[in-house]
A and B are shown apart, each in its own frame.
Chain A
């Protein structure tokens, strides 16, 4: 029978680092990525020469972005690979690095997510199969349709849904790496630029540039390199899935349900055991869908928990304490890697003003166009 990550060698996140997520600038991508990697190495207390392989998550930079950047750390000749998996590129890169460490093929690996906004044609437009009006239906319209459907089904108002943005922008205001660092009132969010349906601009994630890096290592490497075990966080589950036939518009929620269940099963945890959750909230409605898909509450009940403060930092389960995609931002490649970084800080107790007290178990969730889904569980040993 196939094994899960937990059946193999233990994998730890030992270092994390970022370049702030921000609007497109003249900064070359190399100078976004290198500071993030150097921060992660310094955080781990190891050298670049200790890193045995590199996983580069990027969706928009174009072919072979990695070596042109990594060579400025000293071209060690070690293997590197690029992983493109739409919004989940960084999460996929992290999963494969974890698998390499768990299998024993490497002891220390770098995962770096890096991107700058750029135009990349989506492959589904090149399949040769036509569509009625996909040129008129961009992601925010897809999620505006899902918002409309959810609102009717569960009797929630646009004001209710926008509360997700109030919380996540409040969290982002405490995060020096966040794209949006300004707290906003419900009126400011609802009164903003209308985008599609009831979605307004501050209910949609900003897509800018940035970088996030994490170092993963085996226990042997930690001992050999003198990494402080008190600052290491164990990866206890890595789950991934792609869309099944027939799920259509609700594909993201359907694969989220299956993938989170798989990850929690691997880690032998119940949904309510999770202290800190980083979700793919590219649009406000997604947070409601996914906490329900996870099984924290029944369909239609997420809004009540949100209003009670259950998802606040200090609540029952801190949902997107980083600010989530809505405030932290969604530069594509970095996003999933940054989630792992945030959970690592939270489980170490190093998240400063965003700290969710006593956080021991974290879960990171990403979906990507396609649809694909990735879920990782991290635990304080």
Chain B
């Protein structure tokens, strides 16, 4: 894995948290007011407006519960592709809305799931999948059902 490159390293980390070591962590943040958010930013807290050092990076565990899912049947590929090293999304694919155990809700693609058996409330975890078009191994974050 060490030879591979993350597509969005600002957003997630190959390493998991102590709570969920086997699943990539999400790079979130926490304000001194207590608000936990994703992704990390220092522009200002959405709850209280504090900025700068009041906002500290925290690794959010790659575990959460499914809120909702939907399989996308129509998807207009962006032309020209922004990054030709990466495979474009091709319908059908399934999007999940996941409330992380650390608080924030995130939405992204699901992999390795049968949409018919997905149920709100079920446990989900992060995983990395290969999305490169060529020899260069590029990994991006997805969620899948926890085994």
A is bound by B: yes
Contacts from A to B (Cβ < 8 Å): 129-133, 135-138, 140-141, 144-149, 152-153, 193-197, 199, 245-246, 248-249
- Of residues 19 through 59 on chain B, the ones whose CB sits less than 8 Å from some CB of chain A are 35, 39, 41, 43, 46-47
> Which residue of A147, A194, A245 is within 8 Å of B47 (Cβ)?
A245
Q: Is B89 an interface residue (CB 8 A)?
A: yes
Contact A136 B75 (CB under 8 A): yes
- Of residues 63 through 83 on chain B, the ones whose CB sits less than 8 Å from some CB of chain A are 67-75, 78
Contact B107 A129 (CB under 8 A): no
Contact A245 B72 (CB under 8 A): no
Interface-central residue, B11, B104, B107, by most chain A CB under 10 Å: B107
Q: Who on chain B is nearest to A150 by CB?
A: B68
Residues from chain B with Cβ under 8 Å of A144 in the complex: 70, 72, 95
Contacts from B to A (Cβ < 8 Å): 8, 10-11, 35, 39, 41, 43, 46-47, 67-75, 78, 89, 93, 95, 97, 104-109, 119-120, 141
Contact A149 B97 (CB under 8 A): yes
A49 CB → nearest B CB, Å: 46
Contact B8 A136 (CB under 8 A): no
Residues from chain A with Cβ under 8 Å of B39 in the complex: 129-131
Q: How far is the CA of A137 from the CA of B120 in the complex (A)?
A: 19
Contact B107 A196 (CB under 8 A): no
Residues from chain B with Cβ under 8 Å of A194 in the complex: 73-74
Residues from chain A with Cβ under 8 Å of B69 in the complex: 145, 148, 197
Contact B73 A196 (CB under 8 A): yes
Task: Given contacts A132-B141, A195-B74, list 5 more A-B pairs with CB under 8 A.
Answer: A141-B95, A147-B70, A152-B119, A245-B46, A246-B46
Q: List 30 A-B contacts (CB under 8 A).
A: A130-B10, A131-B11, A131-B39, A132-B108, A133-B108, A135-B89, A136-B108, A136-B109, A137-B107, A138-B75, A140-B74, A141-B95, A144-B70, A145-B95, A145-B107, A146-B68, A149-B68, A149-B97, A152-B68, A196-B95, A197-B71, A199-B70, A245-B35, A245-B47, A246-B46, A248-B104, A248-B105, A249-B67, A249-B105, A249-B107
Interface-central residue, B70, B74, B105, B108, by most chain A CB under 10 Å: B70
> Which residue of A132, A133, A135, A153 is within 8 Å of B78 (Cβ)?
A135
Contact B68 A141 (CB under 8 A): no
Q: How far is the CA of A343 from the CA of B95 in the complex (A)?
A: 38
Q: How far is the CA of A195 from the CA of B119 in the complex (A)?
A: 20
Interface-central residue, A132, A145, A149, A194, by most chain B CB under 10 Å: A132
Residues from chain A with Cβ under 8 Å of B93 in the complex: 136
Q: How far is the CA of A149 from the CA of B95 in the complex (A)?
A: 13
Q: Who on chain A is nearest to B119 by CB?
A: A152
Contact A130 B35 (CB under 8 A): no
A155 CB → nearest B CB, Å: 12
Contact A152 B120 (CB under 8 A): yes
Q: How far is the CA of A152 from the CA of B118 in the complex (A)?
A: 11
Contact A133 B107 (CB under 8 A): yes
Q: How far is the CA of A147 from the CA of B120 in the complex (A)?
A: 12
Contact B97 A130 (CB under 8 A): no
A106 CB → nearest B CB, Å: 36
B13 CB → nearest A CB, Å: 13
Q: How far is the CA of A376 from the CA of B43 in the complex (A)?
A: 34
Q: How far is the CA of A137 from the CA of B39 in the complex (A)?
A: 17
